[in-house]
Amino acid sequence: MTSNTSTQYFSERQAWLAVLARASRIELEAKLELANESLLTLQRVRPAEVGMLMLRGRVGGTGNPFNLGEASVVRCAVRLGNGPLGVAYALGRDKRRAELAAVFDALLQDPQHHDDLQSKLIEPLATAQSQARDQLQGEVATSKVEFFTLVRGDA
Amino acid sequence: MNTTTRLAAGLPDAVHETQHAFRAALDALARPGQIRRIGAPLPGVALGGAMARLLLTLCDDETPVWLQSGDPALQSWLRFHTGATLADSPMLAGFAIMTEIGRAPALADFAVGTAAAPEFSSTLLIELPALEGGPALDWSGPGIEVMQGVRLQGLPADFWTQWQANQASFPQGVDIIFTCDEHAIGLPRTTQVGRTGGV
């Protein structure tokens, strides 16, 4: 495998992991039927566990990093049968949600299930998530204030 | 595309099982020479039950681990579940894992701490073929009322000479936990070892 296709693979996986990380438990639970038979061989390599992580930010997006605060996060790693390892990280403390996301990650890495899940799970979720984001941005944009420094006339 | 080589699972109930193993390790070092049960082997891990559980219990991202075996599956298992880094040399090891004591470095090659900070020493976890049935030795020292008879198997001939030097350098020196399958015996640096009935 060349490095080019492997980079592409990782960015694809990053994309679906990002969608899974933002999906709610209800959304994931509703699609569990897509995974049905594989669940019989579920092995919890790292059972879902809750921890903390430090969120860091930069002032204005470019300044020095500072610690914004801590957030609870849940993570999980599973394997279905002899398949690849599925992992998940999600904000919050919902262990079931992380487990479901890890199951879907494992299945998405499996060529047999990939296309099916990509079209029935990831794409609808990604569309819904970007719509929600656009809507929120639209709502917030109306209250945006721009600051200008006016040159004084006597300068 | 399968980049992960069959990563084995960790402890199903990490909180309680590591508490149990930690307590057993504490007892083993507080009562040198007495056999303690740590727990059953973990499926898919190429280590005895006691060794695997002690690793998951004791190691974290602040304890560099030196592994005698270069098994990549073992390395990734340890790093995935504990976050521990791998030490390049025995001298840098917080914990040293030895599965073939006959071909292991000398005790003096491990970190012994400093006189001001003797706690910065390596703790050695050594897998032996058996904890009973070997040459009879008498252990004595803190935690042992009079004498504790111990019959470890599989240690090289000069091991106890090295141990004498280690014990004499107190408060510096290494501590050892011998494991075999599900069981463990502690040998802290304070324990003196002599042949049964003499020397």
Give pLDDT tens digits for A111-150. Answer: 888 999 999 999 999 999 999 999 999 999 988 888 877 7
The pLDDT value recorded for residue B152 is: 95
C-beta atoms of B1 and A9 within 8 A: yes
Tokens linked to A84 = 């690849």
Is residue A5 predicted with pLDDT exceeding 90? no
The nearest CA of chain B is from the CA of A71 a distance in Å of: 20
For B42, name the nearest residue in chain A, comparing CA atoms only.
Answer: A45
Is residue A35 predicted with pLDDT exceeding 90? no
C-beta atoms of B9 and A49 within 8 A: no
- pLDDT tens for B153-182 read 999 989 999 999 999 999 999 999 999 999
Strand blocks (E) in chain A: 42-58, 65-80, 85-91
- pLDDT tens for A48-98 read 999 999 999 988 778 889 999 999 999 999 998 888 899 999 999 999 999
The pLDDT value recorded for residue B158 is: 92
Is residue A153 predicted with pLDDT exceeding 60? yes
Per cent of chain B over pLDDT 70 is 96
Encoded amino acid at A65, one letter: P
Output the pTM of the full model: 0.83
How many residues does this entry show for chain B? 199
The secondary structure element, H or E, covering residue B184 is strand B183-187
The pLDDT value recorded for residue A40 is: 81
DSSP 8-state secondary structure symbol assigned to residue B80: H
Is residue B2 predicted with pLDDT exceeding 60? no
The pLDDT value recorded for residue A139 is: 92
The secondary structure element, H or E, covering residue B150 is strand B148-150
For A9, name the nearest residue in chain B, comparing CA atoms only.
Answer: B1
C-beta atoms of B14 and A84 within 8 A: no
Residues of chain A positioned with their CB less than 8 A from the CB of B76: none
CB–CB of B53/B42 below 8 Å? Answer: yes
If you average pLDDT over every residue of chain B, what do you get? 92
The C-alpha atoms of residue B154 and residue B83 are separated, in whole angstroms, by 31
Backbone phi and psi for residue A115, each to the nearest 5 degrees, phi listed first: -65, -40
The pLDDT value recorded for residue B3 is: 43
Strand blocks (E) in A2-152: 42-58, 65-80, 85-91
| Mean pLDDT to the nearest integer, B98-122 | 93
B80 pLDDT band (50/70/90 cuts)?
Answer: very high
Nearest by CB: A44 against B3, B9, B81: B9
For B82, name the nearest residue in chain A, comparing CA atoms only.
Answer: A46
B1 pLDDT band (50/70/90 cuts)?
Answer: very low
